[in-house]
Amino acid sequence: MKVVGLTGGIGSGKTTVAKQFEKLGVPIYIADDEAKKLMNTSKVIKRKLKTLFGEEAYVNDVLNRAYLAQVIFNDKAYLQQMNAIVHPKVAKHFLRWMAKQKSPYVIKEVAILFENGSYKQCDYVITVTATIEKRIERLLLRDQTTVSKIEAIMNNQWPDEKKIVLSDFVIHNDEIQNTIQQVQATHKQLLIAIGDS
């Protein structure tokens, strides 16, 4: 079974694209969602995060995401340390999940697939892009946040140009009908590529 990494900058619409692949019968693993679950359920992760960030990392035994976001986006060293705690656990969880799937390929959606080097464990990579204006517009609607906070997150991620060079497929997600057609075409190309490999 092949692993297809799906990535893209914040607000590019990775989840929208993942849902379209899911409609085609492709199993989807959303690494960020699983990471959040593990950060709330794994005693080992909880202990390590409290050591790193202090007791306020959790409120009533639930991850204090607002506090963590504030700390890590102002300090890349904290972000790297947190990722070093969480990502290995997510990687193990993914392998257990993948063993249960029955499909020519699975999609692993990871926001920082290139930044954390996990693209090297993928057979193919799809990068989702959208204009900066479109991404900011979506995030302002979705997260009730500010442009400066969005830009701070974007500055922690690789630019699209750098990701595209290392990608096998690129889906431009500005208009949903166009996106659906690109997903269907990519799915067909992947099935052909996997059949030939």
pTM to 2 decimals?
0.89
Q: Is 12 annotated as a binding residue?
A: yes
As a whole number, mean pLDDT of residues 10-29 equals 96
Check the annotation: does 41 bind a ligand.
no
Residue 11, annotated as binding a ligand: yes
Three-class SS of 51-81: HHHCHHHEECCEECHHHHHHHHCCCHHHHHH
> Quick one: average pLDDT of 185-190?
98
Domain 1-27+105-197, CATH 3.40.50.300 — does that match?
A: yes
Q: What is the mean pLDDT of residues 96-120?
A: 94
Query: What's residue 73's pLDDT?
Result: 74
* DSSP per residue, 113-141: TTTTTGGGG-SEEEEEE--HHHHHHHHHH
* Percent of the chain residues past pLDDT 70, beyond the cut: 99
Give the pLDDT of residue 27: 98
Q: Is the pLDDT of residue 196 over 80?
A: no
Across the range 105-117, mean pLDDT stands at: 93
Listed by start position, the domains of the chain span 1-27+105-197, 32-100
**pLDDT value of residue 115:** 87
Q: Is 14 annotated as a binding residue?
A: yes
Whether residue 197 is predicted with pLDDT greater than 70 in this model: the reply is no
Q: Is 145 annotated as a binding residue?
A: no
Binding residue per annotation — 54? no
